[in-house]
Amino acid sequence: MRQAGAYSGLLSGGIGARTGPHSLPLARIKKIMKRSASGSTAAGDEVRMISGEAPIVFSKACELFVEELTRRAWAVTVRGKRRTLHKDDVAAAIAATDIFDFLVELVSESNGNSSGGSGRVLS
Amino acid sequence: MVGGGGGAAADRDANSIKSAAAPEVREQDRFMPIANVIRIMRRVLPAYAKISDDAKETIQECVSEYISFITGEANERCQREQRKTITADDVLWAMSKLGFDDYVHPLALYLRQYRQLEGGDHRLPIVIKPPPPHAPQNFAAVPNPNANANAVPAMQQYQMHQYLGHDAYGNGTVGGYYAARGVFGGPDHESGGSSSSQLFPAAMQAMPNFDHPFGFK
């Protein structure tokens, strides 16, 4: 049960029980990490283990990441005198931010993803 | 037809028609739940702002890409150093290396707070060292049957150590960076004769000073 107290207001969303009731799911984070770690490991290398704390760091890091990306994208929206944040605004924010270079390819894909399975249509 | 690579195609063939439509990885496993993503976005947007569906999905995908990106770098570090486990320290190191060093301090803070709240279970072993042999103790005296007279002074000789073992910051002892700065109380911490049931007296009472820069090797 989540306890209110000295720590609950300190960070956005608080900590409470585990990482808080609204934070990102740790199991999901771990799955994504595993896919990434095993993908870059050559055949014959051992599979990387993931400490319990690593997903916890990511749960907070992803919040910071989403917040930053959203703020930057919204700035583009505002400059365009609009009130609806579109994918193009996200793409513009990515293009304008050096540390988001790893995302350039992701937002330039016109239809779905190259690494199969999703069948999503982004339009 | 969605191409999932040779392995996926072979699996599909082997499993015949019934699972032909099954993707190699379920979509919901590849991304953070979109509701969570939207909630985080709304925190930084004005109330009147609208978000298009494609923007939500794009950011959802970006999050997974971010995790993969950082993890890849952290994983390479583990490989170079021949370690089997990707730790929180590796993740923080990778973030700093890849340009997200602004995140490191708030994340380190978050991690420490998490440890303080959760550490009582299993992560932070409490070691109570027995008192050193007490030469001046007068064993010739009539033994006190209830032994309470000895209990209080004996307690003061106990040292309560909190340590993280080989912790996530790559340091061997006492919480590394943070213990050295007295956040966890460190080995010098005096329990002040308080009861041994008080597990983290320093941590629970003091708000640490966060002025120290978070230095990385």
Beta strand residue intervals within chain A, DSSP E: 49-50, 84-85
Put simply, the answer to whether A11 touches B110 (Cβ < 8 Å) is yes
Cα gap A55→A52, rounded to integer Å: 7
Assigned superfamily of A8-111: Histone, subunit A (1.10.20.10)
Q: Please, which contacts does B24-31 make with residues 24 or more away whose CB atoms are closer than 8 Å?
A: B24/A116, B24/A117, B25/A35, B25/A117, B26/A117, B27/A117, B27/A118, B27/A119, B27/A120, B29/A28, B29/A31, B29/A32, B30/A32, B30/A35, B30/A117, B30/A118, B30/B64, B31/A28, B31/B60, B31/B61, B31/B63, B31/B64
pLDDT at B90 over 80: yes
pLDDT for A48-58, tens place per residue? 899 999 999 99
- Angle in degrees, 0-180, between the axes of helices B34-43 and A53-79, rounded to the nearest 10: 60
pLDDT at A75 over 90: yes
Q: Is residue B20 part of a domain?
A: no
Provide the token pair at B127: 């070691």
What's the CATH number where B52 sits? 1.10.20.10
Cα gap B67→A87, rounded to integer Å: 20
Q: Give how far B193 is from chain A: nearest CA, Å.
A: 24
List chain B residues with CB under 8 Å of A50: 85-86
pLDDT for B138-189, tens place per residue? 544 455 555 444 444 444 433 434 333 444 444 444 444 443 343 433 344 4
Q: Which of B12, B28, B65 to mutate to test the interface with A (most CBs of A within 10 A)?
A: B65
* Residue A23: predicted pLDDT: 85
The pTM score is: 0.59
Q: Is residue B90 part of a domain?
A: yes
In chain A, domain spans: 8-111
* Residue B204: predicted pLDDT: 44
C-alpha neighbours within 13 Å on the C-beta side of residue B151: 8
Determine contact: A81 vs chain B, CB below 8 A.
Answer: no
Q: Which one of A70, A89, A117 has the shortest CB-CB distance to B25?
A: A117
Q: CA B51 from chain center: how many Å?
A: 33
List chain A residues with CB under 8 Å of B3: 116
pLDDT for B99-138, tens place per residue? 999 999 999 999 999 999 876 555 545 555 566 665 555 5
pLDDT at A71 over 90: yes
Closest residue on chain A to B108 (Cα): A57
Put simply, the answer to whether A53 touches B2 (Cβ < 8 Å) is no
List chain A residues with CB under 8 Å of B23: 116-119
pLDDT at B47 over 70: yes
Asked if residue B55 lies in contact with residue A87, where contact means CB atoms within 8 angstroms, the answer is: yes
Cα gap A13→A10, rounded to integer Å: 8
pLDDT at A15 over 50: no
| Non-local CB neighbours of B51 within 8 Å, separated by 6+ positions | A84, A85, B38, B41, B42, B45
Q: Give how far A71 is from chain B: nearest CA, Å.
A: 6
Q: Which one of A40, A70, A85 has the shortest CB-CB distance to B52?
A: A85
Which of A65-74, B30-39, B143-152 shows the lowest per-residue confidence on average (mean pLDDT)?
Answer: B143-152
* Residue A2: predicted pLDDT: 55
Q: Give how far A116 is from chain B: nearest CA, Å.
A: 5
Q: Is residue B176 part of a domain?
A: no
Q: Into how many domains does chain B fold?
A: 1
Put simply, the answer to whether B43 touches A71 (Cβ < 8 Å) is no
Structural domain of residue B80, as residue ranges?
A: 27-131
Cα gap B106→A61, rounded to integer Å: 9
